[in-house]
Amino acid sequence: MTKNSHETATIAKKKRRRLRVTALVVATSTALAGPAAVSAVAAPALVPPTATDRTHNGPMQDVAEQVLGAGAPGYTARIDNGRRVAVTTAGVADRATGRPMTGRDQFEIGSNTKMFTSALALQLVDRGRLDLDAPVSKYLPGVVPNGENITVRMLLNHTSGLFSYTGDPDFFPNTEKNPQHVYTDQELLAIAFRHAADFAPGTSWSYSNTNYVLVGMILQKLTGKSMPELVEQRIVRPLGLTHTYYAAPRATHTGPGYAHGYQVRFAGPSPAYTDVSDWPLGGWAGAAGAIISTQADLSRFLSALLRGELFSRKQLEQMQTTVPIPASFGIPGSYGLGLIKIDSPCGTVWGHGGDTMSHHSTAVATADGRRTAISDTNAEPADTTRNDGVDRYVAVAFAAEYATICQMLDKPVPASVTQALHGGAPTTG
C-alpha cells in the first residue's frame, strides 16, 4: 500500500516505510523485506487486451501490453471520461487456472481504503461526534505518545510525525515468516511506538499507516461498531456498492471474479511468483488498507465522495484542504484528509492509490467527480535490492498511471510518459 519516489536506490527502505498503500504513483519502494516461499516460473503468456470502447483501446492496449511485459500477471483499467466508459483488460487473474483478468474482478484496493476511513471520520464531524482539531488524547487517552499535541486532522493528513509501523525493518520479514498471523491494532501500535517520531506534530509531512490505524480505533470507540460494520452501513449500502467490503481479516466474499495477487521477485533468470491471496489483508492493513472492491464500485465511491454525497460540503472542503507533499515522496501534488491532489502531466486530479503485498491500484477523478479512472495490477515487486526487473516494473507502472489519467482527461499522452512506458527513464511529470 504505498509507493512512489523514483529514486530507485531507496527501493527497500521506502517500500517498508509506506505499507505499500499510497497514492497514485508506483514507487520504487515496493520490495517486501525477507524471504518468501516462491517457485521460479516463467512469466505468463500475454492475453490480448480487450475494451468496451475501441476508441480508447489503442493507447490503453499499449499500456496493458507494457505492464504485462514488465512482469505483471494481469492488468485492468476502467476509464470514464464523462461520456463513455472504456474497460481495458489483459493477462490473468489466476495463474494456476489461467482465468483471464476482467474489468469486473474484485481486488485489494490497499490505501484507497484511506478515502473510506476519512469519509467515515468526516461523517462523525458532521454529527458533532468528532472534532478534527481536538487532540488524539481526547478520544484515546494514554494510547499515543505525545497524543495531547497530535490532532485528529494531523492523523488524517499525515502531519502527526508518528512512525509508520510498516517502516519497521522487521515488519514484513516477520509477516512472511508467519503469513497467517492477524495483528491487533495494539500490536501494530506497539511496533510503531518502538520508534521515535519522525518530527514534531504539525511541522512536516510523512506518510504513516499508523495514523489511519488510530483513526480506525477512534471511529470504533465513538460508534461502538467495527470497521467492517461502519464501511458496510455508512458507505457500501447507501451507495449501492454491491462488491465492496472490509476484509475481516481475509477476502472471503469472493467467487470466480476475484483477482489473485502475487508477490514477484525479479532477481534470477525469470520472475518468481507467490500467490498471497489467502493472507489476511485485514490482519495487517486495517483501517489503512483492508478494503476489497471492484473498478465500478470504486468509481462510484470516488464520484460520490467528490460530489459531497457522503457528508456535507463543509466537510468536503476540509477533505480537500491540502498540505504540500515533499518532492522526495515522488508525487507532484498535495495531501488532504485521506485524499491526494495530484498534479499530473495532463492536469490536476483527485484520488489515492493502494499497494498491498500483491496488488497495485489507483483511483482518481476530476474535481467534480464526473470523470474517473480506476486501475489494478495484480502484482507487487518483492525484491529487497534494486535490479533491472524492478526498475523496469516501476518505470512502467508509474507511466501507466499517468497515461490512464491523460486518457480520462482526453489529453494526448506526453512523450516523456510514453518513453517511460517503453522502458526509458521514469518521468515525474
Question: What's residue 242's pLDDT?
Answer: 94
For residue 58, name the pLDDT band (cuts at 50, 70, 90). confident
Which strand (E) or helix (H) includes residue 94? strand 85-94
Which residues 6+ apart lie within 8 Å of 173 measured at CB?
A: 33, 34, 35
**Taking 60 as the threshold, does the pLDDT of residue 98 lie above it?**
yes
d(C-alpha 216, C-alpha 370), whole Å: 29
Sorted by sequence, the CB contacts under 8 Å of residue 317 that are 6+ apart come out as none
pTM score of the predicted model? 0.88
- pLDDT score of 329: 87
Average pLDDT estimate for 96-120: 97
What is residue 393's three-state secondary structure?
Answer: helix
Looking at residues 144-163, what average pLDDT do you find?
98
- What's the mean pLDDT in 93-107? 96
| Greater pLDDT, 176 or 129 | 129
Going along the chain from its start, the domains and CATH numbers come out as 8-421 (3.40.710.10)
Helix (H) or strand (E) holding 154, with range, is helix 152-156
Q: Give the residue with greater pLDDT, 222 vs 13.
A: 222
Whole-number Å distance between alpha carbons of 346 and 358: 28
As a whole number, mean pLDDT of residues 254-260 equals: 84
Q: What is the per-residue pLDDT across 4-34, written as a single tens digit (0 to 9) for each? A: 433 333 333 333 333 333 333 333 232 222 2
Residue written as grid cell 451507495: 239
pLDDT at 269 over 80: yes
Q: Return the pLDDT at 252.
A: 84
| Rounded Cα–Cα distance for residues 184 and 136 (Å) | 19
**Distance of alpha carbon 128 from alpha carbon 126, whole angstroms:** 6
Query: In which band, very low, low, confident or very high, does the pLDDT at 56 lie, cut at 50, 70 and 90?
Result: very low
CA proximity to 192, closest of 108, 286, 113, 282: 286
User: Which carries the bigger pLDDT value, residue 11 or residue 59?
Assistant: 59
- Phi and psi for 374 in degrees, rounded to 5? -125, 135
Q: Confidence band (pLDDT; 50, 70, 90) for 123?
A: very high
- Distance, CA of 122 to CA of 183 (rounded, Å): 26
- CA distances for 363 relative to 298, 311, 354, 398, 411, angstroms: 7, 20, 9, 14, 18
Q: Tell me the pLDDT band of 423, cut-offs 50, 70 and 90.
A: confident
Q: How far apart are CA 266 and CA 39, in angstroms?
A: 12
- Determine which one of 5, 29, 39, 111 is catalytic: 111
φ and ψ of 209, to 5 deg: -70, -20
Region 268-282: mean pLDDT is 94
% of the chain surpassing 70 pLDDT: 85
Beta bridge partners of 86: 79
Confidence of residue 57 (pLDDT cuts 50, 70, 90): low
pLDDT the model gives residue 398: 86
What mean pLDDT value characterizes the chain? Answer: 87
> Residue 62 pLDDT more than 60?
yes
Place of cell 480505533: 217
Name residue, grid cell 520508534. 195
Distance, in Å, from the CA atom of 273 to the CA atom of 395, rounded to the nearest integer, reads: 20
Give the model's pLDDT for residue 292.
97
Which tops the pLDDT comparison, 40 or 196? 196
Distance of CA 225 to the CA centre of its chain: 24
Residue with cell 476502467: 78
The order of strands in the sheet holding 272-275 is 39-40, 272-275, 262-265, 379-381
Report the percentage of the chain scoring pLDDT > 90: 78
| Pair 23, 331: CB distance under 8 Å | yes
Cell numbers for 335, please give them.
Answer: 495531501
Looking at residues 269-287, what average pLDDT do you find? 95
> Could you give the 3-state DSSP secondary structure of residue 279?
coil
What are the pLDDT digits (tens) for 178-192? 999 999 999 999 999
Q: Based on C-alpha coordinates, what's the Rg of the chain?
A: 19
Q: Minimal CA–CA distance to 164: which of 122, 116, 134, 205? A: 205
Smallest CA-to-CA distance from 251 within 297, 285, 295, 290 is with 290
DSSP string, 118-152: HHHHHHHHHTTS--TTSBHHHHSTTTSTTGGG-BH
More confident residue, 423 or 67: 67
Residue linked to cell 470502447: 53
- The cell for 102 is 476482467
Q: Which three cell numbers stand for residue 171?
A: 515488519
C-alpha span between 263 and 271 (Å, rounded): 10
- CA separation for the pair 134, 158 (Å, rounded): 15
Residues 395-417: tens digit of each pLDDT: 899 899 999 999 999 999 999 99
Catalytic site includes residue 111: yes
Q: Are strands 323-324 and 333-335 parallel, antiparallel or unpaired?
A: antiparallel
Least confident of 105-119, 305-319, 339-353, 386-400: 386-400
